[in-house]
Amino acid sequence: MHSSTPSAVSPAGTPRISGAHATGELASMGPGLLVMDVDSTLIEQEVIELIAERAGTRDRVAAVTERAMRGELDFAASLRERVATLAGVPDSVFAEVLEQVRLTPGARELIAALHARGCRVGVVSGGFEEVVGPLARRLGIDHVAANRLEVADGALTGRVEGRIVDREEKVRCLRAWAQTDGVPMARTIAMGDGANDLGMIAAAGLGVAFCAKPVVAAAAPAAVHVRDLTAVLELL
């Protein structure tokens, strides 16, 4: 499904993309479904760190997040550890953080270009539905999966509610959404930056590391090296 081609290079000399490009059905018929991570991929920040800022635990949370994204920690366990530090933060934090979120350059343009081709777009996030959901609705994203934070008496309890969107759940969502949309896996693209994205990157028709951690960049068939989501289109 993939073939290696020379890297595309920006005018400034920075490699924009490298590795495999679309071939077969993905090249001839175009993508039918693109699924991407949210934190540090669709957006520039890590939502849990923005919330942790209010709890006074941002440095601690950021250190654990970094290790988890490098694949050094079990994601679910590390998420519970980080969420525990958020106990007591008022649930008004969700609206505040949503206003702070910065889209990665090219996000709107990528989504519009894919929709124009008849391609569906989904996001799978180790972050939180309370922020990811409204953001996805603003952007017209078709599928959303994210974690939920438990709230009681107007404040975070420090616990996650329901299932955790980890590496395996991201793969499950990719496959389920492809089936729902009637898209063969050969016409799917999965993109992310952290170790918990490796499963869906391997399962998709084309897996893309986006400004990724070394373990992801080494394993993904294709890579984008600039913070411009429209660079993904060059792989097609």
pLDDT digit string, tens, across residues 147-156? 999 999 999 9
pTM over 0.85: yes
Active-site annotation holder among 37, 142, 166, 228: 37
Written as one string, the DSSP assignment of 20-86 is: EEE-HHHHHH--SEEEE-TBTTTBSS-HHHHHHHHHT-HHHHHHHHHHHHTTSS-HHHHHHHHHHTT
142 is catalytic: no
Its domain, for residue 122, covers: 2-45+103-149+162-235
Q: Number of structural domains, the chain?
A: 1
Per the domain annotation, does 92 fall within a domain?
no
Active-site annotation holder among 39, 142, 193, 197: 39
39 is catalytic: yes
Per the domain annotation, does 79 fall within a domain?
no
CA 120 – CA 99 distance, rounded (Å): 26
Residue in this structure with the two tokens 């889209």, named with its chain if needed: 103
Residue of 187, 49, 21, 40 lying closest to 114 (CA atoms): 187
Per the domain annotation, does 56 fall within a domain?
no
Dump pLDDT digits (tens) for 184-231: 999 999 999 999 999 999 999 999 999 999 999 999 999 999 999 999
Written as one string, the DSSP assignment of 133-173 is: HHHHHHHT-SEEEEEEEEEETTEEEEEEES----HHHHHHH
**Strand 120-128 vs strand 33-36: parallel, antiparallel, or unpaired?**
parallel
